[in-house]
Amino acid sequence: MGIRGQLTLLVAALVAIALAVGAWVEVRRERREELAEFRSRHEKTLQAIGVTVAVYVAQNDLGGLDTLVAQLTEAMAARDLTELVVLDDEGRVLAHSTPELFNTVLTDDFTREALDSDGPVWAREGRTYRIAVPAVSGIRWATVSARFSVDRLEASFVRARLRLALAILALFGTLTLMLYVGLDRLVVRPVRALQQAARRMGEGHLATRAPALRSVELAELSETMNKMAAALQHERENLEHVVAERTRELQELNARLGRLAVTDGLTGVYNHRRFQEAISAELLRSERHKRPMGVLMIDVDFFKKVNDAMGHPAGDELLRRMAEVLSSDLRQTDLIARYGGEEFAVVLPETTKSEALQVGERMRVAVEERINQGTPWPTKVTVSIGVATYPEDGKTTEQLIASADQAMYIAKRQGRNRVVGARGVIG
């Protein structure tokens, strides 16, 4: 739906709702007044009947009283009367519009309240009003109770509401038509002209200019659009080049950031975060395919002696060379990471315990032979390696790392420069 239809429906609907609310409030007020007048009128009618009833009861003329009740019920049926009852002071029926109820005792709450009251009593019960008044002629001789249907009155309310709804609907239709035509001339046509100009500019026809408009706000918008088109036309020649250059730079930066996020800045191997991701993913794959996998935890022996004797730069150089040596004998599917400090960790997919021990031994020998050549370290550089495999040494990443870590510390306690396999699940 266009702006014209939306504004038309919005304004017309708001007016119609306001009118409907006001009319509903007024109808409710009139309904309350009509019901109050309905009750008052029938109270007075019953009071008049009560005078006659008192005479019959005082004369103990129950036959005449019964005839009076029957005649009144028939005569007032067109005026909403549905039941007429005469009761003595104990609630016994002296006369009833339904003769079969003669001489019965009524004990409902309304009847008891009416017998105890010195004035009119009324209650709304669904679609009827119950009204009771004392039958007085000098003294109180009886109580007259009646039921009056409000169906006819409610039907008149329904007709009134229907007429009101039709009037509001007609007003809504007239107002909608007037707004539709007025908005078309004042808003929609100028906006469409601006829309067409903007569409042409968006398609690349920057020589297009929006037309001058009479409305101050729309004229200002048109002028702004024309200035924008001129500026875009001036800059379009070099825009694609600038965008391409910036895109290339952004791609390079994203690639660099991606590498930095998973790479240890000192050694160039993967970092602790990437190791955790890799071991979790490989463990899920091993579980799914029922295949083994190995984890190595590697610690540089007496690394603190190198730092203390030669300084931290020498220690950093040792870690870089250590990463190169440890990585040299791994498969493309294997992953090595700096676990922290002078510790490294390796994930070996599709690897059994014996195979993982062989890989660890090759690494140990390579470190012992290659790291100690050339640089006069203050002590012989070696590594202690702990080996754990799935599933015998752990079925979770935490268990595998803990098993490999404990095996590594056993290697250290046994004299360092050795490879030790885990002896089952830890934890």
Render pLDDT for 48-58 as a digit per residue (tens, 0 to 9).
Answer: 898 889 889 88
Q: Which residues pair with 343 in a beta bridge?
A: 299, 340
Please indicate, yes or no, if residue 150 is contained in any of the structural domains. yes
Render pLDDT for 108-141 as a digit per residue (tens, 0 to 9).
Answer: 999 999 888 989 998 998 889 899 999 888 899 8
Token pair recorded at residue 175? 């107002």
Question: Measured between alpha carbons, how far is 211 from 425 in angstroms, rounded to an integer?
Answer: 81
Domain boundary residue, one of 123, 154, 185 = 154
What CATH code is carried by the domain that includes residue 96? Answer: 3.30.450.20
Question: Measured between alpha carbons, how far is 271 from 363 in angstroms, rounded to an integer?
Answer: 19
What is the share, in percent, of the chain residues with pLDDT greater than 70?
94
- Backbone angles phi and psi of 146, in degrees to 5: -145, 160
Q: Is the model's pLDDT at 13 over the cut of 90? A: no
Please indicate, yes or no, if residue 203 is contained in any of the structural domains. no
Render pLDDT for 30-41 as a digit per residue (tens, 0 to 9).
Answer: 888 888 888 888
Burial of 124 (0-12, 13-18, 19+ CB in 10 A): exposed
Please indicate, yes or no, if residue 252 is contained in any of the structural domains. no
Q: Is the model's pLDDT at 278 over the cut of 70? A: yes
- Give the chain's domain count: 2
Which domain range does residue 280 map to? 272-421
User: In Å, what is the CA distance from 371 to each residue of 245, 300, 338, 416?
Assistant: 45, 11, 17, 16
Q: Is the model's pLDDT at 205 over the cut of 70? A: yes
What CATH code is carried by the domain that includes residue 388? Answer: 3.30.70.270
Please indicate, yes or no, if residue 179 is contained in any of the structural domains. no
Q: Is the model's pLDDT at 217 over the cut of 80? A: no
Please indicate, yes or no, if residue 189 is contained in any of the structural domains. no
3-state secondary structure of 126: coil
Question: Measured between alpha carbons, how far is 317 from 313 in angstroms, rounded to an integer?
Answer: 6
The number of residues in the chain equals: 427
CA 214 to chain centre: 46
Number of Cα atoms under 13 Å in the Cβ half of residue 278: 24
